[in-house]
Structure 1
């Protein structure tokens, strides 16, 4: 698994209060979204100006082994870890800086 993730300046400087496990999970999702967007973009030879963000899927699948490795738990302990993680993330708000307005805007991470 490629462990390099480039995050936007707004995301890095945003006001997020995530645990290490939550940050790992958000990074995993960001990687999945980026890969899906790149697959669409390059398969259509599309450019950023014409890219249709609505085409990015909103559901992603991960293997038990992949998630167990990420969270450093056994496959049998994974369900409990994911249950706690998703309960914690539901409704969490991130404050991301909008450079055009010079202020922070609220964004709900998961709902």
Structure 2
């Protein structure tokens, strides 16, 4: 058989965890708090500092606003664009996700 070259990952975002200095500052300034239960969590409830649909935590600095740092246009040679929740990346690295996609897309 012909072996395909392994794909290389280009990460386009940063994780929005409540222990990131900028995210933590916003949460605390809004009256929220960060605790630790295996992972850092906002007000004892949520393990991310930005979320869609968690409106009860909005007043404590959990926002749904995306973090834009620039643009990267997809090229015809790009194989995948992965958009996934924190649950996927708690268990798998970006490279592992890429490898799984490559194996299961054949």
| TM-score, normalized by the shorter chain, greater than 0.5 | no
Larger Rg: 2
**Highest relative contact order (Cα 8 Å, sep 6+), 1 or 2?**
1
Relative to total residues, which structure has the larger strand share, 1 or 2?
A: 1
TM-score, normalised by the number of residues in structure 1: 0.24
